[in-house]
Chain A
Amino acid sequence: MSVEIPAVCVEGIEKSFGSLSVLKGLGLTAHSGDVVTLIGSSGSGKSTFLRCINLLEQPDGGTITINGELVRTRQDRNGKWQPADRRQVERIRSKVGMVFQNFNLWPHMTVLQNIVEAPVHVLKIPRQQAEEEAHALLRKVGLADKPGHYPSQLSGGQQQRAAIARTLAMKPRLLLFDEPTSALDPELVGEVLRVIRQLAEEGNTMIIVTHEMQFAREVSSEIMFLHQGRVEEKGAPEIIFKEAKSARLRQFLARAAGGPGAD
């Protein structure tokens, strides 16, 4: 084993909403180039867990280390955990890209403006350079002819591909995908998965929450099955899909295979 620093190392994450405990000590380690997929039924906590990694949700406990940098936290007067240093959180977020279920493009900006916004204003890249890179990214996601379009003028699949380009424009070290195809019409899922698959093949480090089991099986280096805020089982795709130990996981996979969205 080398002593390489993991791209992301998350340990003992806990999160409650009111009296409802959603995450009960979840952890995850991903090295550079790993593709970790989180699966599980709705309510298992997989999206919340993903959102904790870039602190869109503030966990109530646990540690998050990105590229060896520990996110410092402190407790406020009410005993709630808060980031100790906003600047650190902002800096880390700028290196961790997030792709959302509902795309979340900025509606008042064109596709090109969406893509260059954060590189220009957060990373302070010269606009011209950012625009050149944006055009290259648009070609990569198959939207070379759409830089001047507004999000409302695009299909769901095109919006999600634009959102992926926006995320890539920050040159993130880690990519988080929160059910990237769940809001799409079935015929548009393929075009988005193709882009994500390409990113996996290029060696990006990614954590993906998805219901697309066949896709998870093909791109993942590791699959984690969550159940009620805990890791029920994890392992390489072949093991998860062929030799799952957990009865719950086998049942979940059988149901997923029978339902829509399965291969």
Chain B
Amino acid sequence: MELIQLSMPLLLSGLLLTLKISIFAVVIGFFIGLGLAIARISGSFMLAAFSQGYSSVFRGTPLMVQLFLFYYGLGQLSFIRDSALAWWVIGDGVRCAILVLALNSAAYTSEILRGGFMSVPKGALEAARACGMSKWLQFRRIEFPIAMRQALPAYGNEVILTLKGSSLASTIAVLEITGHAKRLMSQTFAVIEVFAMAGAIYLFINVVMIVLLRLTERSLMRHMAA
């Protein structure tokens, strides 16, 4: 009981940081991923090759390796240290974790959205063109909404994975949920209790997230109900 009283406030303060890292990473990752997906289907060889290369590199290496490369690796380079903006990001564990998670999530998001875009019926786009819609209007009103609905289940998964991936920020000394749990573990040696609590907090956020995603899906997919 004492242990819970000691640990819970710390773990919950870590929760705020976990949420901050995850939300920023998911939002930034979404827009980069969207850009990469559009580049991939743009028909331009250079853009598509870049997007594909990016996605291979970030999906093909472990998140923790990326985190160390950015935080410890880039942090050693003098031109990064000399650039105010770069050092503002890389020099801070939380911001660096957000950046790496966002870049990593962008790679997966781009693949998910690409699948969504490819599933948009050609006829729906043709009908949009035929009534005089501009390219941008077509994208905004027809192509993107249909693609996003297709991609939503897989994308929801990606959001959950990113949230769990944020626990790796603890490896670069960020005190989010897992960071606090590690510290508590070395102070109290109550491994099972502390990590069970940490796990329960993750589970709680993810269950809330799953419910929210399910509700969004249900409201957006009304057109699929028979």
A: residues with CB less than 8 A from B are: 54, 56, 86, 90-98, 100, 102-110, 117-118, 121-122, 150-153, 163, 166-167, 170
Note all chain B residues with C-beta closer than 8 A to A102: 123
11 CB contacts below 8 A, A to B, read A93-B131, A94-B132, A97-B131, A98-B130, A104-B127, A108-B149, A108-B220, A121-B133, A121-B137, A122-B131, A122-B132
Closest A residue to B222 by CB, please name it: A150
Q: Say whether B77 faces chain A, with CB atoms less than 8 Å apart.
A: no
Residues of chain B within 8 A (CB-CB) of A110 are 223
Contact B223 A151 (CB under 8 A): yes
Q: How far is the CA of A97 from the CA of B117 in the complex (A)?
A: 26
C-alpha gap A199/B164 in the complex (Å): 59
Q: How far, in angstroms, from A109 to B142 measured CA to CA in the complex?
A: 9
Q: Is the CB of B146 within 8 A of A106?
A: yes
Sort chain B's interface into a size bin: 20 to 34
B residues 152-203 with Cβ under 8 Å of A? none
Instruction: Indicate if the CB atoms of A167 and B132 lie closer than 8 Å.
Output: no
CA distance A56 to B127 in the complex (A): 10
The number of A-B residue pairs with CB atoms under 8 Å apart is 79
Nearest opposing residue in chain B for A102, CB measure: B123
Docked pose: A102 CA to B123 CA in angstroms: 8
Q: Are B223 and A107 in contact (CB under 8 A)?
A: yes
- Give B188-226 interface residues, CB cut-off 8 Å to A: 220, 222-226
Residue-wise, chain B 98-139 has the 8 Å CB interface mask toward A (1 for contact) of 000000000000000000000001011011111111110100
> Which residues from chain A contact B145 at a C-beta distance below 8 Å?
108
Asked whether any CB of chain A lies closer than 8 Å to the CB of B141, the reply is yes
Query: Measured between C-beta atoms, what is the minimum distance from B137 to chain A in Å?
Result: 6
A residues within 8 A CB of B132? 90-95, 118, 122, 170
A47 to chain B, nearest CB (A): 12
Q: Which of A91, A97, A98, A107 gathers the greatest number of chain B CB atoms within 10 Å? A: A107
Q: A108-B149, A117-B141 are in contact. Are A56 and B130 (CB under 8 A)?
A: yes
Residues of B within 8 A of A94 (CB): 131-132
Task: Contacts A94-B131, A98-B127, A150-B222 known; list 16 others, CB within 8 Å.
Answer: A56-B129, A56-B130, A91-B132, A93-B129, A93-B130, A93-B131, A104-B121, A104-B124, A107-B121, A109-B223, A121-B137, A121-B141, A122-B137, A153-B226, A166-B127, A166-B131
Question: Given A122-B137, A150-B222, does the pair A104, B126 have CB atoms closer than 8 Å?
Answer: yes
Contacts of A107 in B (CB 8 A): 121, 124, 146, 223
> In chain B, what residue has the closest Cβ to A89?
B132
By a CB distance below 8 angstroms, the chain A residues around B137 are 121-122
Contact of A108 with B123 at beta-carbon distance under 8 Å, contacts A122-B131, A152-B223 already known: no
Given A107-B146, A108-B223, A150-B222, CB of A122 within 8 Å of CB of B123: no
Q: Do B222 and A90 touch (CB < 8 A)?
A: no
Instruction: Point out which of A91, A98, A151 has the most chain B C-beta atoms below 10 A from its C-beta.
Output: A98
Contacts of B222 in A (CB 8 A): 150
